[in-house]
Structure 1
Amino acid sequence: MDPHSWSLHWDVLLAIGILAAGYFSSQRRWPADARRRAAFDLAVILLLAVYVTPLHTIALHYLLSVHLLQNVVTAEWAPALVVVALAPSLARELERSTAVRVATHPLVALPLWLGTYFVWHVPPIYDAALEQSGWLLHLEHLTYFFAGVLLWWPVVHGRYSDGVKALYLFGAFVLAAPLGLLLALLPRPVYDFYKDAPQLWGLSDIVDQQIAGVTMAVEQAIVFFAVFAYFFMRFLRTEHIAGVFSESSR
């Protein structure tokens, strides 16, 4: 397949269309501000970029590194932006459901996201999804996205202290990091699908895997650490202010 070909698959476009229709229909009752709407627009743009442009073709037929980029967008970036895009009033309405409250609890959401991420990267499962390029691959991407929504929900809409959110993000980074590092350091390719795939841009299968691992590790370090640092600094500032008031009251 030509690596420069675009992918206009009806099922992918339908899924993104349903997501967009659901969001914009919610705006009549639970309107979000301009920044939140911009976050949703960016999420849709990112999803279209990795599922419609030649990146999708390259991911499914040539390079593991590009497929992992697609996974990162699906499991981390797009879900984070969608969760940010939800109006707080809509989030509170959804949290009236016991199932939503349980699923978005940090002790449930984080293990579900980690389990989804690691299970789909087990070589036989990963290879099977790519070889079929059908329902199993769609299931992989859907579970990535919904697990990502659960992951980011406690950070954006959870009624937890800044310290708890910082600890949660630090745990997510530490527990997720080994996968990227493992791919970067292993001396041989672990996925038969990409080992047998045609080379692109002169990249060997092992170099492609190393780039994939480094990209995943660096991306998670930047994203998770940046958000962790934001909440950690807020936590320190709150503790400092509380200490000042405590001293002044003596």
Structure 2
Amino acid sequence: MPVHDPYAWALDFEALGLVPAVGIAYSLALRRYPAERWRIACFAAGLALILAAFVTPLHTLSMHFLLSAHLLQNVVLAEWAPALCVLGLPPALAAAACRRSVVGTLTHPLVALPLWLGTYFAWHVPAAYDAALRHPTSLIHVEHGCYFVAGFLFWWPALQNAPHRLSGGTRALYLFAAFVLAAPLGLLLALIPRAVYDFYVHAPHRIWGLSPLADQQIGGAAMALEQASVLFAASTYFFLRFLGGDERAEAYRSLQRSS
């Protein structure tokens, strides 16, 4: 088996082709559905994160050396990049997309959250996880695509108003539920007393002096900490907005303008 440089940049041609194509499609959509600069910046940042996940040394470390690196890559694809891309959607474009019943159904909180959780947990089953890593030109792309699509649908009810305009309190509860239900996965990986992913247990080359179990514990703890910081912080933000009455004030101003 060839020895890989753990710090080598990767040439993932799927990402190098797909990310620019999505960027071009987004630019064309902006002609019909203009967006504020901050939304455009968010969408661009989301695409940049996806590209970074596949061409930087993170991808090399993920595919050949460290479970913890792969868990970080999964977090980027399932949480960070989708959140930024959803924020980057112009509201008019989101509303137009929701005219299709399938979009409205998939972005319903009671559908999007179980779908995201199910995707997250299913792909972390050792048999599925190892199988994806052993098929780096096929199944691994299915896994990564599932993460992003599920993450995109998950963030939609929290960050967009169409088609389900949720109150700040409901958004806070939605994100808090996601935090509570997703946290056990990272904690389980951090606390279980043996390494469960054979692909990394039998990896021919190890770096940084990490055993497979230590690598798994670091990755699990980092995942749990990330979800606590991102999901709990987002939940707190919407809860504070709800307590502050921002939405009630906005509704009152809208009523005044219409009268």
TM tier, smaller: over 0.9
Q: How far apart are 1:44 and its partner, in Å?
A: 1.8
Q: Provide the rounded CA distance (Å) in 2 between the counterparts of 1:88 and 1:58.
A: 38
Counterpart mapping for 1:58-207 below 5 A: 58-158=61-161, 159-197=165-203, 198-207=205-214
In structure 2, give the amino acid aligned to 1:192. Answer: D
Q: Provide the rounded CA distance (Å) in 1 between the counterparts of 2:143 and 2:211.
A: 26
Q: How far apart are 1:201 and its partner, in Å?
A: 1.2
Root mean square deviation of aligned Cα:
1.6
Q: How far apart are 1:105 and its partner, in Å?
A: 0.1
**Range that drifts further, 110-119 or 32-41:** 32-41
| Cα deviations by residue, 1:194-219 (Å, 9 ceiling, x for unpaired) | 11112111111111001100110000
Please name the residue that 1:36 is paired with.
39
Q: Provide the rounded CA distance (Å) in 2 between the counterparts of 1:162 and 1:29.
A: 29
Please name the residue that 2:243 is paired with.
236
Q: Provide the rounded CA distance (Å) in 1 between the counterparts of 2:26 and 2:72.
A: 25
Q: Provide the rounded CA distance (Å) in 2 between the counterparts of 1:140 and 1:19.
A: 19
| Cα deviations by residue, 1:56-96 (Å, 9 ceiling, x for unpaired) | 01100000000000000000000000000001111111111
In structure 1, give the amino acid aligned to 2:211. Answer: S
In structure 2, give the amino acid aligned to 1:48. Answer: L
- Relative to the length of structure 2, the TM-score reads 0.91
| Cα deviations by residue, 1:159-214 (Å, 9 ceiling, x for unpaired) | 01111111100100000000000000011101000111121111111110011001
In structure 2, give the amino acid aligned to 1:106. Answer: P
Q: Provide the rounded CA distance (Å) in 2 between the counterparts of 1:41 and 1:92.
A: 21
Q: Provide the rounded CA distance (Å) in 2 between the counterparts of 1:19 and 1:212.
A: 30
Please name the residue that 1:226 is paired with.
233
Query: Counterpart of 1:28 in 2: which secondary structure?
Result: helix
Q: Provide the rounded CA distance (Å) in 2 between the counterparts of 1:180 and 1:188.
A: 14
Moved runs in structure 1, 4+ residues, more than 3 A? none
Q: How far apart are 1:9 and its partner, in Å?
A: 2.2
Unaligned 5+ segments in structure 1 are 243-250
2:10 corresponds to 1:7: yes
Query: Counterpart of 1:199 in 2: which secondary structure?
Result: coil
- Relative to the length of structure 1, the TM-score reads 0.94
